[in-house]
Amino acid sequence: MSFMALVARDMRLATRAGGGAFLALAFFAMTATLVPLGIGAELRLLSAVAAGIVWVCAVLAALLSLDRLFQADFEDGSLDVLALGPLPLESIAAAKIAAHWLVTGLPLTIVSPMIALLFSLPGRGYSALAAALAIGTPAVSAIGAIGASLTISIRRGGLILPFIVMPLLAPIVIFGAGAVRAAIDGLASGALLFLAATSLAAVLLSPFAAAAGLRLNLGA
């Protein structure tokens, strides 16, 4: 199976009923909708917390489907077949990361400006929010893949996965929210550059780390 064929296969599986892609979007929308109800109708307060809340909700939504990134293939034996195929494990991990971002991170990025309307985000913040999520969400999928590769053989590994990846995702949330706040305040900030550098490093290195985790669990 080629790299692109594996990406397309995983995207089809993720968008099926119970695949997790639509569940992540629904969780993102519902969680972000509940926050203004809890905080209240104070527009200044909502505007101040908008970037952070949207980023946290997006990360939590992406985490919902990360535990199934390798788990389903591991349970039905497909992962063993893929590991014996022509693609190296690094390419398999990269394909799964790409598929996860396309069905989860990209839709979350597209929907985020509409969610930000609930928080009365200033006009200058919408483009910054979309740009920050487009740059940062690939790192969420990439870092999550490392945790998913380490927990595939653990019973209820999905409960452990957030504890592994959340500390690693903290810089992504900090830089992403900081870039939006800087854009709203009209200030020059290197947050978006730091976010891009962190995301690029995660995307480039994570397939190798995830492949190492897969070899550990597959005994390859």
DSSP for 90-140 reads HHHHHHHHHHHIIIIIHHHHHHHHHHHGGGT--HHHHHHHHHHHHHHHHHH
Per-residue pLDDT of the chain (220 residues; tens, 9 = 90+): 788 898 998 888 887 755 566 888 888 888 888 887 887 777 777 888 888 889 999 999 888 888 788 888 888 888 888 888 889 999 999 999 999 999 999 999 999 888 888 888 888 888 899 999 999 999 999 999 999 998 887 776 567 888 889 999 999 999 999 999 888 887 767 889 999 999 999 999 999 999 999 998 887 5
Structural domain span for residue 131: 3-218
With CA atoms as reference, report the closest residue to 61 among 17, 106, 113.
Answer: 106
- CB 160: neighbour CB atoms within 10 A? 15
Tally of domains in the chain: 1
As a whole number of angstroms, the distance between CA 26 and CA 23 comes to 5
Q: Please give the pLDDT value at position 158.
A: 65
As a whole number of angstroms, the distance between CA 46 and CA 108 comes to 20
As a whole number of angstroms, the distance between CA 214 and CA 193 comes to 31
Residue in this structure with the two tokens 């599986």, named with its chain if needed: 13
Q: Please give the pLDDT value at position 19.
A: 56
Q: Please give the pLDDT value at position 220.
A: 56
Q: Please give the pLDDT value at position 157.
A: 59
C-alpha 140, offset from chain centre: 4
Residue in this structure with the two tokens 């490392």, named with its chain if needed: 146
